[in-house]
Structure 1
């Protein structure tokens, strides 16, 4: 069994040298957390505020490429009527990204309940979770450690859980998010 794992690792490494690697990421979170801003920042570069930016209705998919890596970002609407779709879009992805407004304590508590109810779905077992506390440029925004505590992320077992504090507006830690995707072992070889 160990030799099969070694052989699979070697074959995947060789494929990675020759073929483009794709990763599917599902972004979920309550409305107003900054999911669409994050997608636009990752795909188009530094944040540019637009007063006519509308919330995602249903879902939106965009991708960005770095070298041989292409990351497809599935941005699913955060309004109450779309939350029932989260589980469906999260099935089979490489990473679930949960975006929360780190400056809105009320929204964080509501988002925590949504996140924990989503992660009990059997179809999502074992899929790594990346929690992003957006809007760290605002007064009162929770830090990474505070967010980890308030959202009870340490209670999530049997999955990899990561948490970063970011700001789409100031481009703070966006490079860390990109490196997370590029260095994560869950890339799917085509």
Structure 2
């Protein structure tokens, strides 16, 4: 998947990091966000990058990083300068929820993600027995681990698109707010050094 140039050279960009276990639906979600269509995907080896122009002056750059065990070992190399974490959970795969929770908690402990807003997508809501947003919030202890930042758990279905427009709107608002706070912080640091 390639990068698409934005038509507006002064457009602001926010980096959104998409993480989650393999087969959670990250690439399918990215294609649905980008093309509003469902594509047959294979497990991501490495990463995909794509830009989605949200408004004429704001673009989200999505980094979809593979979720296989070997790839999770290198997630830390993608965390720097992140404006939003989009963590995807297969809410129907109860056998792997604990593994997903551990990876989520581990990545949130990284200093690079301090204060970075978090959107958890409880994907595959169309499947029988899928946990709802409240259950994911409770099982992942999100209130505990995300108390110092903006966060939201959005139930969704990548194949139908249900819940994705709401997720994209909230993620955009989170990323814009985070960018503004980083820019303000940078200005204050520059003023202090004068």
Same fold (TM over 0.5): yes
Instruction: Compute the displacement of 1:85 (Å).
Output: 1.6
Q: For residues 125 and 79 of structure 2, what CA distance do their matches in structure 1 show?
A: 26
Instruction: Compute the displacement of 1:41 (Å).
Output: 0.5
Instruction: Compute the displacement of 1:93 (Å).
Output: 0.7
- Name the TM-score, length of structure 2 as normaliser: 0.82
The DSSP-based 3-state class of the residue aligned with 1:46 is coil
User: Which residue number in structure 1 is paired with residue 21 of structure 2?
Assistant: 30
1:176 correspondence with 2:166: yes
Instruction: Compute the displacement of 1:158 (Å).
Output: 2.0
By relative contact order (CA 8 Å, sep 6+), the higher-ranking structure is: 1
- Unaligned 5+ residue runs, structure 2? 1-8, 184-194
Instruction: Compute the displacement of 1:107 (Å).
Output: 1.5
- Name the TM-score, length of structure 1 as normaliser: 0.83
Q: For residues 171 and 123 of structure 1, what CA distance do their matches in structure 2 show?
A: 31
The DSSP-based 3-state class of the residue aligned with 1:132 is strand
User: Which residue number in structure 2 is paired with residue 54 of structure 1?
Assistant: 42
Q: For residues 129 and 85 of structure 1, what CA distance do their matches in structure 2 show?
A: 19
User: Which residue number in structure 2 is paired with residue 64 of structure 1?
Assistant: 52
Q: For residues 91 and 107 of structure 1, what CA distance do their matches in structure 2 show?
A: 27
User: Which residue number in structure 2 is paired with residue 160 of structure 1?
Assistant: 150
Instruction: Compute the displacement of 1:187 (Å).
Output: 3.9
The DSSP-based 3-state class of the residue aligned with 1:87 is helix
